[in-house]
Structure 1
Amino acid sequence: MIDRSTKAGSPVPVRLVQFTICPDAADPAAPCRELHIVFFPGDQFPLAKQFWQHAGLGIPSRFAERCLSMLQEQSGPDSPPPTGARPPVKPGNRHYSAKSFGKSPPSSPATGHARYEGSIAEQTAELLNKDHLNYLEERYGRNMPLESAGAAKRAMRRRIAGVLVRDTPNDWSTAGDKEVVLGPSTRGVEGVTEDDVFLYPTGMAAIWSAHQLALATRPAAKSVCFGFPYTDTLKILEKWGPGCYFLGHGLDSDIDELERLLEKESQLSETPPVLSLFTEFPSNPLLRSADLPRLRQLADKYDFLIVVDETLGNFVNVEVLPYADVVVSSLSKIFSGDANVMGGSLVLNPRGRHYSALKAYMAAEYEDTYFDEDAIYMERNSRDFRRRIRIIDENTLAVCSFLRSRSLRAEPQPSAPPQPRVIKEVYYPKWITPHNFEKCRVRGPDGQPIGGYGGLFSLTFTSLDASKAFFDALPCMKGPSLGTNFTLACPYTILAHYGELDWAAGWGVEEGLVRVSVGMEEREALLKGFEKALLAAEAASEPKQQTEPR
């Protein structure tokens, strides 16, 4: 706030309070919890809000719950005692609880609640307090005990680094051991270790930190946002630091434009023409993949960093680290799958030309703020992420193939009767910039691709009526996340860009775009559900019959 308000010419007075909460004497082994509270003039809230809105560095819910419980322990005798049980969850609206594809196969080791049977109110009829939940998780081998958070974090960092020789759900108890056998990384770069992996409370916190890392280690210059990204990434690049060049289409022609820009700027200064280039592989929500080998050549020629967000592609399917200096990911998505914990990761490429400077900065400045309880849940969820990704990849390809066969892109069948076509485009890496996606697709020892295309796709429609009908009739959960073990859909543009619909449309992100994250449900049930939604969209697009006046 001080930096941005000073640059705007009107410095804002800010005070920072360090507030430490310690457990009572009855639990001396429990750690203290530290909060940092910012005081600023009330009329400066819009400026302060930007940081918490975009940077992903707010207080996690489990951390907040722990702090509140410690404050209750320290309350006076007149304070009401803790309730012991969590309050019931109120029933959701029609989008969240009324429809589903049927029961999904178990995701990561079972969490002990039915996701798809009955209402949310019915599912929470039998309430357990936190101590009971912790006991069940630890007693039946699902969660590590809370005092093993360090081991849980090591296990995750090794999992992300690709160095665990044995990493099945049955090996979870040893994955974080200091003596466990480790092998060479499977990330496509020689020398990657767990020490090159850094954990964060959220995926956006990892992206924010990657930008701060670039600003701290490289000469000041604008960054490049290549492709239309998740909204907060662009805001971080625009609002903090020298600014951003936005090449929002993310196509090969944009690399031509980038090369001209780099050549022009390099003639004006002896320092690198840009600070860094951020891109998603593939992008959200248009699922476009950049030509990473070509971008790497430009980065080496003009000396800037490349930061790749691999959340959608994930390292089971794509190998992007060889072309990046830094790879970031939201672990809250498919790595977790259960949608009950948040997290992010940042990986340094040990073969990158600026690795020494980047690693030295991280060694000096990185602070592990990933809450221990969140790490315990994330480690538990991620034990079988490879198996889940394979199932979701196959489900998504089947669904997208069906929808594309009924879209304007489908090849006409001479013998088939004409059908209404309400889907304009199926955005999925198999058909969107596939030549670039294939360059990074994970391959087996025989050179054949073994990585899938991911679990996310987007649809555009011939009319808003068709889009609305499809979304409303789709029998799945509705919400703004992705990478869940259950299918989840959202009207992406309305949620992310409601105040800038025309701007988003100018980059090809239409108002009626529907984004779908496919889950692990039975494939036939998924296909029937999407056919039902498609029939509703087709019916909504049929011309209304006119009745003649009497």
Structure 2
Amino acid sequence: MVENQVALGLSVPPYTPHAISVSLPTWRDNVGYEEGEQRVVDKMVSGYPRFFIHLSIKKLAAFCEQKYTRGDDEKCMLFSTQTIADQCRTFIQRRSVTLGAPVTARLVHLKICPEDKQNDGGDSKSDQSLASSSSCADLHIVFFPADAFPIAKEFWQHTGLGISSRLAEKCLSLLPVDPPNVQRPISPTLGRTPGKEPNRHYSAVKSRPTSPPAAVQLPPTPPLTGSFAVEDSNPDSVYLEERYGRNLPIHAASLAKRALRSRVAGTLIKGNICDCVNDSGSEKNELVVGPSVRGVADVAAEDVYLYPTGMAAIWSAHNIALSVLPPAKSVCFGFTYTDTLKVLEKWGPGCHFLGFGVDSDIDELEKLLEDESKRDPTKPPVLALFTEFPSNPLLRSANLPRLRGLADKYDFLIVIDETIGNFVNVEVLPYADILVSSLTKVFSGASNVMGGSLILNPKGRHYSSLKKHMDDHFEDVYFNEDAIFMERNSRDFKRRVRIIDTNTETVCDFLRSRSLASGASSAVIKEVYYPKYITRSNYEICRNRDVDPEDGKTGGFGGLFSLTFTSDSASKAFFDALPCHKGPSLGTNFTLACPFTILAHFGELDWAAQYGVETGLVRISVGMEETASLLRSFETALKAAEAVRLDNV
């Protein structure tokens, strides 16, 4: 466990340039973050990428604003393709109308290439190769009025389709280290820098709603001098991030993506694929694959699609459903992670929210389906049902066989998010038409790269139409370098899950024995939310019971649990005293805790409480630490909470 707490606002893990979490070590720090308290905000140099825009992305955005804004009242957001930028522009314009303050947005296409090699009599073809498409970077920039930034941020957060911080760093590496008047932002506020003349190494394309116009070559400026690599003030961080010798070469990104798709499909047999690549990065062997362990024999890598984030996979699943089936409201079943509900509410006809996710909600759903079918028997009563297995943060598991029966009867899609369950522990694909997951979490574990996946069930009723849509419209926007890191991190996915499962069950058994739920007198813990105790019968239906031939184990209960307490003061004391990393995200190889409701629902605490998500809820993702050390740490935190209760007696 953590002996010395990471300072407020620094990355978690420490010295990780592309960390996906940030240290918020006390309850007060988390509240301060949500309230925008300057004490907290000014120290933030990292954060969860869909909520906190990485400093490299901010630096690049400031550069783009400096060059291409049409006045002092424009901001921008950066995307990797015109399709995504168009979707962002459409959202900004539509959403602003809904909010009663219509705005327009515009697009600029920027291609950034390395500086042209000076003509010294060398081969011109060789010179041209230096600016090949593989070494250049495409940016699609959405400009909008500054006061519409919160709306643009909604798109960034809900869709998870903003550019990767590694892509931003590639772009910056093609620019001078510190372009004149473009300084590295030191706070989360996206600032503006004074304008300067355009540089000859960028071509800008201003896009219109109809079709992209021809490129415009910007006027030249005197050559810029200096290194063309981003400075790194901490060489040790490079070693920690790259773990020299383990990554595939960047040229093997296509192989890394194929390996990831096979691994997610459950068909990859050979875990370490480095032997498939020679020193030049080209393939020398094929991946070794076999039958899928997904519970659906016919699933293959071709049914798996990679995305830059888990939310991008969820947003895309909804978008696919809207494109393939007749329009109708969707169903959000259970208290899912906040952005899933927001996606269903803000895109398409809306959604029905059944926030408890228990069998009584299925009764309500069945009545809703019957009523809608009577109203218009010519089309399905709902578009799709979205649920998590189990849910975040209450770890409830839906009755998937019963939901599947309703989907077959009324012809709607089921989309299941298996992020928390993961396919080592559960088999839920047989009940889904579309299966999504955040690979950012335990699949990666290292907390240094984002990613998501979407699987089409080849046995699903709508597989053919879904597959055709994906074949016609899928756009691979997963940045190659991110795929390289994700492939490396996920090679030992199963081994890590086994350790985390064992640790979590041991910790939860200890804490529940000291809870009111188990009958302990004078306890400060009310309930331990964990699939072993919560809606267990539904979880057991999908729990992987096959004995793994490699380790002789079956599926466990996962690495996430939540605690509720008898008082807010006990919650705060427990959280502050728990000696582990504190910050957003889950599924990390190290234990990570957060006051979930404060971070996810600060502006709607009473609403969340209606569904059992209490303000004082503490969510904990257990890591791979030594089990005895974990137990001592939780004993320490529990004693602190009990001391608060005694002080208040």
TM tier relative to shorter chain: 0.7 to 0.9
Q: Map 1:433-444 onto structure 2 (within 5 A).
A: 433-444=535-546
Amino acid at match of 2:145: P
Tell me the equivalent position of 1:284.
Answer: 392
> Are the counterparts in 2 of residues 409 and 425 from structure 1 also a CA contact under 8 Å?
yes
Indicate how the Cα distance of structure 1 residues 441 and 243 shifts in structure 2: closer, same or farther if over 3 A, else same: same
**Is 1:428 the equivalent of 2:537?**
no
Q: Map 1:213-252 onto structure 2 (within 5 A).
A: 213-252=320-359
Shift of 1:7: 6.5
Shift of 1:21: 1.2
2-side partners of 1:285 and 1:176: how far apart? 42
Tell me the equivalent position of 2:184.
Answer: none
Shift of 1:409: 1.7
> 149, 155, 158: which is aligned to 1:54?
158
Amino acid at match of 1:534: L
Shift of 1:224: 0.2
> 522, 525, 530: which is aligned to 2:629?
525
> 212, 216, 227: which is aligned to 2:319?
212
Shift of 1:510: 0.2
Tell me the equivalent position of 1:324.
Answer: 432
2-side partners of 1:300 and 1:63: how far apart? 42
TM-score when normalising by structure 2: 0.73
**Is 1:12 the equivalent of 2:116?**
no
After superposition, what is the alpha-carbon deviation per residue over 1:190-222, rounded to whole angstroms, capped at 9, x for unaligned?
A: 211101000011111111111100010010000
2-side partners of 1:235 and 1:330: how far apart? 17
**Is 1:453 the equivalent of 2:566?**
no
2-side partners of 1:347 and 1:491: how far apart? 31
Amino acid at match of 2:534: I
Tell me the equivalent position of 1:489.
Answer: 593
> Are the counterparts in 2 of residues 153 and 176 from structure 1 also a CA contact under 8 Å?
no
2-side partners of 1:484 and 1:452: how far apart? 17
> 224, 248, 260: which is aligned to 1:144?
248
**Is 1:373 the equivalent of 2:481?**
yes
Q: Map 1:95-494 onto structure 2 (within 5 A).
A: 127=236, 137=243, 140-167=244-271, 179-269=286-376, 270-411=378-519, 420-444=522-546, 450-494=554-598
- Which stretch has the larger CA shift, 154-163 or 176-185? 176-185
Amino acid at match of 2:590: F
2-side partners of 1:7 and 1:216: how far apart? 22
Q: State the SS of the aligned residue for 1:450.
A: coil
Shift of 1:527: 0.2
> Are the counterparts in 1 of residues 414 and 433 from structure 2 also a CA contact under 8 Å?
yes
Question: How high is the sequence identity, in percent, across the aligned residues?
Answer: 65
Indicate how the Cα distance of structure 1 residues 423 and 154 shifts in structure 2: closer, same or farther if over 3 A, else same: same
TM-score when normalising by structure 1: 0.86
Shift of 1:6: 5.7
Amino acid at match of 1:305: L
1-side partners of 2:366 and 2:283: how far apart? 44
> 34, 48, 64: which is aligned to 2:168?
64
Indicate how the Cα distance of structure 1 residues 176 and 5 shifts in structure 2: closer, same or farther if over 3 A, else same: farther
Shift of 1:80: 5.8
- Which stretch has the larger CA shift, 46-55 or 392-401? 46-55
> Are the counterparts in 2 of residues 157 and 198 from structure 1 also a CA contact under 8 Å?
yes
Q: Map 1:1-40 onto structure 2 (within 5 A).
A: 1=91, 2-5=93-96, 12-25=103-116, 27-29=130-132, 30-40=134-144
Indicate how the Cα distance of structure 1 residues 220 and 525 shifts in structure 2: closer, same or farther if over 3 A, else same: same
After superposition, what is the alpha-carbon deviation per residue over 1:88-136, rounded to whole angstroms, capped at 9, x for unaligned?
A: xxxxxxxxxxxxxxxxxxxxxxxxxxxxxxxxxxxx5x546x6x789x7
> Are the counterparts in 2 of residues 310 and 328 from structure 1 also a CA contact under 8 Å?
yes
1-side partners of 2:370 and 2:643: how far apart? 53
2-side partners of 1:336 and 1:170: how far apart? 17
1-side partners of 2:138 and 2:323: how far apart? 26
Amino acid at match of 2:631: L
2-side partners of 1:177 and 1:542: how far apart? 67
Amino acid at match of 1:24: E
2-side partners of 1:176 and 1:461: how far apart? 55
Tell me the equivalent position of 2:147.
Answer: 43
Shift of 1:226: 0.2
- Which stretch has the larger CA shift, 31-40 or 340-349? 31-40
> Are the counterparts in 2 of residues 427 and 459 from structure 1 also a CA contact under 8 Å?
yes
2-side partners of 1:133 and 1:393: how far apart? 26
2-side partners of 1:151 and 1:183: how far apart? 17
Indicate how the Cα distance of structure 1 residues 36 and 537 shifts in structure 2: closer, same or farther if over 3 A, else same: same
Alpha-carbon RMSD:
2.5
Shift of 1:42: 3.1
After superposition, what is the alpha-carbon deviation per residue over 1:257-316, rounded to whole angstroms, capped at 9, x for unaligned?
A: 000000000111111000000000000000000001110000000000000000000010
Shift of 1:52: 1.1
Amino acid at match of 2:289: L
Indicate how the Cα distance of structure 1 residues 410 and 86 shifts in structure 2: closer, same or farther if over 3 A, else same: same
> Are the counterparts in 2 of residues 491 and 514 from structure 1 also a CA contact under 8 Å?
yes
Indicate how the Cα distance of structure 1 residues 57 and 176 shifts in structure 2: closer, same or farther if over 3 A, else same: farther
> Are the counterparts in 2 of residues 155 and 176 from structure 1 also a CA contact under 8 Å?
no
1-side partners of 2:164 and 2:635: how far apart? 38
> Are the counterparts in 2 of residues 338 and 484 from structure 1 also a CA contact under 8 Å?
yes
> Are the counterparts in 2 of residues 441 and 449 from structure 1 also a CA contact under 8 Å?
no
> Are the counterparts in 2 of residues 477 and 488 from structure 1 also a CA contact under 8 Å?
yes
Indicate how the Cα distance of structure 1 residues 69 and 168 shifts in structure 2: closer, same or farther if over 3 A, else same: closer
Shift of 1:82: 5.6
> Are the counterparts in 1 of residues 591 and 621 from structure 2 also a CA contact under 8 Å?
yes
Indicate how the Cα distance of structure 1 residues 127 and 391 shifts in structure 2: closer, same or farther if over 3 A, else same: closer
- Report the count of equivalent residues: 497
Indicate how the Cα distance of structure 1 residues 519 and 63 shifts in structure 2: closer, same or farther if over 3 A, else same: same
**Is 1:86 the equivalent of 2:232?**
yes
Shift of 1:33: 1.4
> Are the counterparts in 1 of residues 564 and 617 from structure 2 also a CA contact under 8 Å?
yes
Shift of 1:486: 0.3
> Are the counterparts in 1 of residues 608 and 614 from structure 2 also a CA contact under 8 Å?
yes
> Are the counterparts in 2 of residues 279 and 308 from structure 1 also a CA contact under 8 Å?
yes
After superposition, what is the alpha-carbon deviation per residue over 1:21-59, rounded to whole angstroms, capped at 9, x for unaligned?
A: 122345345432111111223333333222112111111
Q: State the SS of the aligned residue for 1:246.
A: strand
Shift of 1:336: 0.4
Q: State the SS of the aligned residue for 1:425.
A: strand
Q: State the SS of the aligned residue for 1:40.
A: strand
Q: State the SS of the aligned residue for 1:484.
A: coil
Tell me the equivalent position of 1:508.
Answer: 612
- Which stretch has the larger CA shift, 25-34 or 264-273? 25-34
Shift of 1:84: 5.7
Where structure 2 has 5 or more consecutive residues not aligned to the other structure, the ranges are 1-90, 118-129, 178-200, 202-220
Q: State the SS of the aligned residue for 1:409.
A: helix
Amino acid at match of 1:282: P
> Are the counterparts in 1 of residues 390 and 398 from structure 2 also a CA contact under 8 Å?
yes
Q: State the SS of the aligned residue for 1:72.
A: coil
> Are the counterparts in 2 of residues 85 and 127 from structure 1 also a CA contact under 8 Å?
no
2-side partners of 1:480 and 1:404: how far apart? 24
